[in-house]
Structure 1
Amino acid sequence: MAKPKKTVIEYRNYELPLNFPVLLLTGDRWHISDVKSGKLHFHNCLEIGICHSDSGIIEFDNTPYPFKAGDITFISRNVPHTTYSNKGEASLWSYIFIQPDELLKGVYSDSSPYAEVFADMLQNFQLILNKEDYPEIYFIIRTAMDELQNKRINYQLSVKGLMLSLFMKVMRVYSENKGKKLDDKDAHENAIVISPALDYIKENYMMNFPMEELADLCHLSQTHFRRVFHEIMNTSPLNYLNTTRILQSCILLRTTEESILSISEQVGFRSVSSYNRHFSEIMGTQPSEWRHKMARVDSASILEYTGWMQAQTLTESRDK
């Protein structure tokens, strides 16, 4: 029996300016072929796209999703995908490639109420929205693209402000889709008060310690600490600790061959059943299934490109 053909995944690395990590790709060059390439690709930064004309399919991990003119797409770094137009069409796109964590550095730090949502969104984000349903999001992106294209005075500051507004709105949509509540209230003015607890969890997540110890570090009573922590982080101290453990376990699942039992113990869970339950709640799947999915990406043949500054034309695609 012939071996199954190995999936080929292209890695596209976009070199973004260090002081302003945003890149616009737009114009008539960005007509997308109606020929499916047979390859998935991923890149080193978040991709924001607007479809200006026609329709087609975006595949995430070989699952197809339709798109049409007026759709907005958000695709995180490291998410394998491919895009192709419907037969006989050549959809026109504009793209912004961005590193939001660098552009908005400090806004969603560990003490931010929504740092967890922001970090999760940057790693596990694949979303298609339509401008009719989300006109404000569409307007912000089009305005940012106009600023990036025309480069008028203070355009970088304008784009940064637009992106801050954009990500706040998109985080709400993402949170609703993930089943997480995201309040509209501003960040707690005294967020720094729980910084010792956040630092301790970051350094000692693999240890078993009482939540009372975190309250002592912050010089707060247990009741007051739990209330303030929830106001700031929008979750309980224990849930935050378990989320930190799960995210750390993802690194071990992807980079080692150790058993799930061993990994669960290394990140601080007392039983593998507890680990599996929390993993499923946070990641939406079981550890073994997540590892299998990531193995598909990691074991694929990776073709590396330093960005693609031009879409493949219909003729080029058909000739390959």
Structure 2
Amino acid sequence: MSKPKKTVIEYRNYELPLNFPILLLSGDRWHISDVKSGKLHFHNCLEIGICHSDSGVIEFDNRPVEFKAGDMTFISRNVPHTTYSNKGEASLWSYIFLEPAELLKGDFGGASPYANIFEDMMQNFQMIINRKDYPDIYFLITEIIEELSHKGMNYQLSVKGLMLSLFMKMMRIYSDNKDLTQDDKETHENAIVIAPALDYIKDNYMVNFPIEDLADMCHLSQTHFRRVFNEIMNTSPLSYLNTTRILQSCILLRTTEESILSVSEQVGFRSVSSFNRHFSEIMGTQPSEWRHRMAKVDNASILEYTGWMQAQNLSEEKK
């Protein structure tokens, strides 16, 4: 009997401004294809989405959840998922990517009586709610989108105030809906356990460190840490680290004229041959070829080629 095909998981990095860590993706270009991707993906930050039209499915690992126009999604970073529209449809979305802990610095930190629930929510957010049931949440998100789109006077302060209100309401909803199965509870607890390792990789991917150090950060034995990490992320700690490095290298390849050797060193690879090998495995081509292909895409953002309809068209052209 053949082994079941292993799920492929793609890491997507969204570079957020340091002083105002929030990014809006909105407008007519943000349609989702009805072609189901062969990959799950996860982000480096929290994703908030609003579906404006049509319907489809979001899959969290192997668990499909239907969505429709008016639905709002909240998905934590490091939660593998994929989204596709129903056959013959192309659902239109607006997305907000952000780092809530940085944007709302101090409001839900360690001194806050709600710090634990906020941290738990940030690690385990996988929620879809509808406009009809939560009109106040829909209003807050659409107001945030409006502020981010038009950037009027003091818009950043306005966005922070709206976000503070949004997260206060979402924490209440999240807390009220924590009636989880035993399997869900174990998964969520494990996700929190490996959070220090994920945070360390995010901030120190360019440094060479023993993988064993990650187990120590999580207060787990090496064997137990590797097992839990694989259960949560569907990949090994080393593969996750290398994927993080390769996605960071894509940003440097696209936005700088640094040599391949320099890029490989900046993201933490000890040799350019190792970098080339991992890049080819993850991206399907060599770094130089990838850079050359991306250079031909005039006035386009890397974000346009990370899983949307235009990306699907590009992949079909390559076949």
Q: TM-score, normalised by structure 2?
A: 0.65
Q: 1:160 to 1:31 in 2, by over 3 A?
A: same
1:3-82 matches, within 5 Å, as 4-82=4-82
Partner of 1:298: 236
Separation of aligned partners in 1, 2:164 and 2:32: 29
Residue of structure 2 equivalent to 1:114? 114
Q: Distance in 2 between matches of 1:176 and 1:145?
A: 26
- The 3-state SS of whatever aligns with 1:129 is strand
Change in 2 beyond 3 A, CA 1:247/1:8 = closer
Question: 1:248, CA displacement in angstroms?
Answer: 4.8
Distance in 2, matches of 1:246 and 1:29, equals 33
Deviations 1:127-154 (A, max 9, x none): 0000000000000000000000000000
Q: 1:309 to 1:5 in 2, by over 3 A?
A: same
Structure of higher RCO (CA pairs closer than 8 Å, 6+ residues apart): 1
Are 2:303 and 1:308 aligned? yes
Task: Write the distance in 2 (CA, Å) between the matches of 1:179 and 1:165.
Answer: 24
Distance in 2 separating the partners of 1:122 and 1:141? 17
Taking the aligned partners of 1:33 and 1:23, their CA distance within structure 2 comes to 22
Sort the Cα spacing of 1:247 and 1:51 in 2 relative to 1 into closer, same or farther, 3 A. closer
1:34 and 1:95 map into 2 onto residues whose CA distance is 18
Contact 1:37 1:317 in 2 (8 A): no
Cα distance change on mapping 1:252 and 1:147 into 2, 3 Å: closer
Contact persistence 1:252–1:263 (CA under 8 A) = no
Contact in 2 for aligned 1:35/1:84 (Cα 8 Å): yes
Give the TM-score of the pair, scaled to structure 1.
0.64
2-structure distance, mates of 1:121, 1:98: 14
Give the 3 Å change call, closer, same or farther, for CA 244–39 of structure 1 in structure 2. Answer: closer
CA distance in 1, matches of 2:70, 2:189: 37
* Gaps in structure 2 of 5+ consecutive residues: 181-187, 202-210, 252-301
Q: What is the CA–CA distance in structure 1 between the aligned matches of 2:67 and 2:110, rounded to whole Å?
A: 35
| Distance in 2 between residues matched to 1:76 and 1:6, nearest whole Å | 23
C-alpha distance in structure 1 between counterparts of 2:32 and 2:143, whole Å: 23
Q: 1:169 to 1:71 in 2, by over 3 A?
A: same
Contact 2:47-2:76 within 8 A present in 1 as well: yes
**Aligned-partner SS, 2:10:** strand
Identity %: 61
Mark the CA change 1:75 to 1:88 in structure 2 (over 3 Å): closer, same or farther.
same
Counterpart of 2:103, as a letter, is L
Map of 1:128 onto structure 2: 128
Q: Secondary structure at the match of 1:92?
A: strand
Q: Report the 3-state secondary structure (helix = DSSP H, G, I; strand = E; otherwise coil) of the residue aligned with 2:152.
A: coil
2: distance between equivalents of 1:132 and 1:63? 24
Q: Give CA-to-partner distance per residue, 1:188-232, whole Å, 9 cap, x none.
A: xxxxxxxxxxxxxxxxxxxxxxxxxxxxxxxxxxxxxxxxxxxxx
Instruction: Go from structure 1 to structure 2 and tell me whether the alpha carbon gap of 1:93 and 1:250 turns closer, same or farther (over 3 Å shift).
Output: closer
**Take 2:105 and 2:94, find their aligned partners in 1: how far apart are those partners?**
25
Q: Write out aligned runs for 1:270-309 (5 A).
A: 291-294=229-232, 296-298=234-236, 302=243, 304=247, 306=251, 308-309=303-304
Cα separation, partners in 2 of 1:94 and 1:4, compared to 1, 3 Å: same
CA RMSD of aligned residues (A): 3.5
Pairwise mapping of residues 79-98 of structure 1 onto structure 2 (< 5 A)?
79-98=79-98
| Distance in 2 between residues matched to 1:148 and 1:64, nearest whole Å | 31
Give the match for residue 277 of structure 2. Answer: none
Q: Distance in 1 between matches of 2:309 and 2:189?
A: 41
Q: State the distance in 2 between where 1:58 and 1:78 align.
A: 15
Q: CA deviation at 1:258?
A: 11
Equivalent position amino acid for 2:236 in 1: D
Q: CA deviation at 1:178?
A: 1.1
User: Cα distance 1:39–1:246, how it changes in 2: closer, same or farther (>3 A)?
Assistant: closer
Residue in 2 that maps onto 1:170: 170
- Maintained 8 Å contact 1:55/1:89: yes
2:296 alignment counterpart: none
Aligned length: 236
